[in-house]
Amino acid sequence: MSTSVYNNLISTFEPKYTTRHVNNASELRSVVKRIRKLTQSSPVYLLNFTDAKQSFVLGAKESSMKISESLRVLSDDSEDSIFTKLKAMSSDTDQVEAELIDSDTERLPSAFSIRVKQLANSQVNLGKEYYETGRGLPAGSYQFRITVNDIGYDFQYNIRKDANHREVMQGLSDFISKAKIGVGAETVSTGGEKIRMRLESAMAGTPNGAESFTLEDKSTDASGKGIVGYYGLNHVSVMPKSAVFDLNGTEKMSLNNEFVLGRAVKVTLNSVSKEEAMVDYHPDSDVIMESINDFVNSYNELVGHSVTFERISHIPSKLLQELRSLTKPYVSELESCGLTFDDDGYMEVNPSLASQAVEEGDMQKLFGKESALTNRLMFKMDAVKINPIEYIDKKVVNYPDFSKPPKGYSYISSLYSGLLFNSYC
């Protein structure tokens, strides 16, 4: 047997499939018993182990392991199962959005309604316009103060000789912004080669409706000009406003358009509306669909190995036939959940139907712990993991003598005992 195929596959094994269950002693005992029984009862075969057969056997084994793992996740009925995960949903996302930031359902507030009356906005100051190549204040050191929410910050800015308005405004904007006091500044063009300074508060809204920040000169030049007064930095263009909204019919206010309810739901206000938006909780279809897609991709991997080997060997795939026979009784249930099969046996997902099935609980029933489909698939995947050699052509040399006590050593990694002990198989 060439090891190149195995070495290629082992380099791409995903750790979550090869190490997740190695601490489960009861599972190990169960697998050992099954391997021992299979070893004792299997005939002796003569195999022409081609590269195609090696690739199929190892690929089928690995894919069946992935399918088993994805089914374990989907059928989990514990408190941490994916079907217990919730997400907050708004009936009008243009007006308000909601996101869960804590999965503890005990903290979740009841479903609530919101109507946005006014959005919060930050304070904006627009300075005087000047030609960018012009010159104004003489060279020197200028001191000024910015007061943000009753906290004063003193600045000193030096203007060099012959500096034009572009250089002064750009340098001053960078100086204020880098101080990180809750006020950002930038130099903006107003057309006609004119520019001005624009200052904006980082916080939207104020508790009492007053200005978020103010500026004042602390020193001036000989003619009484200061940097704040000269560039008009204290001119308020937009006053700060708090958000106003009705929560379950009661008017509330928030300094920002984002706030948290019950330490569990982050609410984002997007636009004013005359109608209420409802926020409630639904199964987290994104998380569930990720697991569904993992299952479908793993199932299609197994089908792909079977189809490829069938085309190479020109022998109908026994495994593919078994998969079709196994899933046939559940086709209508699968289709109602958005899962269909093409002519080659590959599974396809209709996202809208699948999401609807998640919402209505049908997907959980289809893959739940008591699901006949899940149990039959798990049983079949266990069989493939233990003995993938079953699905390639081989010649029987002799059968075991059942008139005598069975013989066989369960830890021999033979062709009939799963090949490789990389995940209890």
Q: Give the model confidence (pLDDT) of 238-282 as tens digits.
A: 999 999 999 999 999 999 999 999 889 999 999 999 999 999 999
What value does the mean pLDDT take over residues 142-147? Answer: 95
Please give the torsion angle defined by the CA atoms of residues 389, 34, 63 and 414, in that order, rounded to the nearest 10 degrees. -40
Q: Are 366 and 357 in contact (CB under 8 A)?
A: yes
How remote is the C-alpha of 329 from its chain's centroid?
A: 34
Q: Transcribe 332-384 into DSSP letters.
A: HHHHHTTEEE-TTS-EEE-HHHHHHHHHHTHHHHHHSTT-HHHHHHHHHHHHH
Predicted pLDDT of residue 195: 96
Domain span at residue 276 reads: 86-120+242-283
pLDDT reported for residue 358:
93
Contacts of 106 (CB under 8 A, 6+ apart): none
Residues 359 and 302 in one domain: yes
Pair 98, 137 in one domain: no
> What is the value of pTM for the model shown?
0.70
Q: Is there a single domain that holds both residue 113 and residue 126? A: no
418 lies in a domain?
A: no
How many domains would you assign to the chain? 3
pLDDT in tens, 292-310: 999 999 999 999 999 999 9
Same-domain status, 232 and 212: yes
Taking the CA atoms of 7, 9, 12 and 13 in sequence, report the sign of the dihedral they define. negative
170 and 104, same domain (yes or no): no
CATH number of the domain within which 131 lies: 2.60.40
Residue 297 and residue 255 in one domain: no
Q: Would you say residue 390 lies in a domain? A: yes
CB contact set of 9 (below 8 Å; sequence gap of 6+): 58, 59, 62
